[in-house]
Amino acid sequence: MDRPMTGKGLDLRELGRRVGAENAAVVREEIGDAWLDHARGQLHARVEAPGALANLGAAVADANVAASHQADLARVRNALLSPPSRRPAPIGWGFAWGAALAAAAAVLAFFVVSHQPAPLVASVGPDKLVAGAWIEASDAASHVAFSDGSSVQARKGTSIRVVELTEAGCDLDVVEGAVAVEVVPRPSNDWHVRAGPYAVAVLGTKFEVDWDREQRRLEVKLFRGKVSVTGPGLGERVLTPGQRLVVTPREIRVEIGPSKTVWAESTPTPSKPVLATKQTQTAPDPGGAAVASNKPRDVVAAQPNAAPPPAHQPAESVEMAKRKQRRRTKRARRRARTRRARTRATAAAAVTNAAQAQLQEAGNDDDGVDAEKGQAVHAPPWNELKTHRWCAAVEQGQRWGWARLADEKAERILAMADAARLCGRLELALQTYKTLRRRYPTDPEAERALFGMGRIGLAQGHHAYAARQFATYIARHPRGRFAEQARGRLLVCYAEQGDRGATCGAARAYMRHHRTGPRAAQAREIVKRCNATP
């Protein structure tokens, strides 16, 4: 028993049983029960060690993250990526040469700077845009013109942000909605259009990007040139003219035939940016109009300023405007229908919620079995979450693939963890909270995950574990959203553990911070008792 054990759990367990069976009586006689208890404790510690090590490791890693110097990262980044600073030239023998070289360098620098290509200038009407500018096309389509002749048209209801303007191009972020981009080809072009997690790299081309933030649906239509689309689950897709790429959480689809839109039939690229601002200037191309009427799409209506208006076809312009109006009405009706259907579904869900929850409880627990088979066919559980059907969300999440949650945003992971907790799937909830904390250690949602882990520990009677989580939460977020609840629950944990000193300390801390809190009476009583019997 004196020799240190090896770390293999099973071997240790077996060894422990044998040693315990053969020597227990002898040990009890010779050394006494106290030592045996101690030895059992040691054995237990060793048997459980590999698991406990993971727990310890996780806690140490958490502490490391908290203690890591953020400044290091910024400093190293600057040191690595900044251009090397010039060392001062030694003054002495080479002073004259140095002065001459400096003068020459100054002349050269002046020449280079004066001939350096300036960054692109973007403007909406008369207003010049700077990097970081937001363009909200809330009332009507908006047109952004660039100094190199390129242009971007944002459909009504679209939000875009100009991330960066360089001499080689522009970095645009489509926050929501659809844009039509036309980039004038140049050898040094470096244009990027981002939409959610996806990015479209451009050389010289004409294309449309439609990003639906709610549905996480991306649609890229290429009319001319070449673009490369990258993003999660997509890798890198290069589109050729005439192709349309649709990416949704369920599928990735490349179709042929976007050329049947107004864009493809529009007039050749204007050499100057088109600064049209009124919808009456719509391209009245007869071919385009005909095709558009055959295949009405949202994006068609989004391009009122796609080409400069030839002045000799006013009747067709009016016709086009009427068509657009009809489409708008149709769209509004469709949206209203969808809203009504959703309301009905929510009401029905409220009635059947209890029954569904029971069904879920009675269902099998084959986590991930369906997920592996049906990743491509099952929808994500966001709709169930929105309608507060927690068990249905868990069930749907498992069908969809719980592991895929790791790729989602922090708030979605948290929502699913909460759903699992509220549905009573505590183990699943605990794992999901841990995933969130590991995946987004510095995200504000990680704070809620930490608190959630404590709640689960408390609910399952693991008071030491729960106390650790709550204490960590309080240490990190002393004025956090759940600080009062964490202090109250910590009090309960310590009391349940029978740790008198810790309970007194927690009660005093509670009274100090939350004198009028919901557990104040309880805490006051505990403090009184602590003071009465030191």
Partner 1 sequence: MADHAHDLKDLRPRPVTSRARFLGDDAALTRALQNGHPGAPAELFDRYGGHIQRVLVNVIGVDQEIADLLHETFAQAFKSIASLKQGDRLKAWLTRIAVFTARGCLRRRTRGRWLRFFAPEQLPETRCNDATPEMREAVAATYAVLDKMSVDLRVPFALRYMEGLDLKEVASACEVSLATIKRRLAKADARFVSLASREPALGDWLREGSRWTAR
Cα distances (Å, whole numbers) of residue 57 to 121, 308, 439, 453: 52, 65, 16, 17
Q: Does position 169 bind partner 1 by CB under 8 A?
A: yes
**Residue 234 contacts residue 214 (beta carbons within 8 Å):** no
The nearest distance, CB 84 to partner 1, in angstroms, is: 12
**Residue 262 contacts residue 285 (beta carbons within 8 Å):** yes
Q: Binding residue for partner 1 (CB under 8 A) from 235, 268, 498, 501?
A: 235
Q: Binding residue for partner 1 (CB under 8 A) from 1, 15, 49, 254?
A: 49
Which range of residues in 192-200, 296-304, 320-328, 371-379 is near partner 1 by CB under 8 A? 192-200
The nearest distance, CB 375 to partner 1, in angstroms, is: 19
**Residue 237 contacts residue 268 (beta carbons within 8 Å):** no
Residue 365 CA to residue 458 CA, distance in Å, equals: 23
Q: Binding residue for partner 1 (CB under 8 A) from 26, 29, 33, 82?
A: 82
Q: Binding residue for partner 1 (CB under 8 A) from 15, 140, 149, 164?
A: 164
Q: Does position 321 bind partner 1 by CB under 8 A?
A: no
Helices (H), 199-261: none
The nearest distance, CB 362 to partner 1, in angstroms, is: 25
51 or 257: CB nearest partner 1: 51
Cα distances (Å, whole numbers) of residue 175 to 126, 284, 470: 23, 30, 37
Q: Does position 44 bind partner 1 by CB under 8 A?
A: yes
Q: Does position 86 bind partner 1 by CB under 8 A?
A: no
3-state secondary structure of 407: helix
User: What are the backbone dihedrals phi and psi of residue 19, each rounded to the nearest 5 degrees, phi first?
Assistant: -60, -45
- Find tokens 């050394």 and name the residue: 31
Residue 89 CA to residue 438 CA, distance in Å, equals: 50
User: What are the backbone dihedrals phi and psi of residue 119, each rounded to the nearest 5 degrees, phi first?
Assistant: -60, 155
Residues 92-151 that bind partner 1 (CB under 8 A): 119
- End-to-end Cα distance, the chain: 41
Which range of residues in 109-117, 229-237, 389-397, 401-409 is near partner 1 by CB under 8 A? 229-237
Instruction: Name which of 273, 267, 239 is nearest 153 in CA terms.
Output: 273
The nearest distance, CB 488 to partner 1, in angstroms, is: 18
60 or 336: CB nearest partner 1: 60
Which range of residues in 17-25, 74-82, 266-274, 293-301 is near partner 1 by CB under 8 A? 74-82
3-state secondary structure of 504: helix
Residues 466-505 that bind partner 1 (CB under 8 A): 471-472, 475-479
Spell out, one character per residue from 399 to 438, where the chain touches partner 1: x when CB under 8 A holds, - when not: --------------------------------x--x---x
Q: Does position 69 bind partner 1 by CB under 8 A?
A: yes
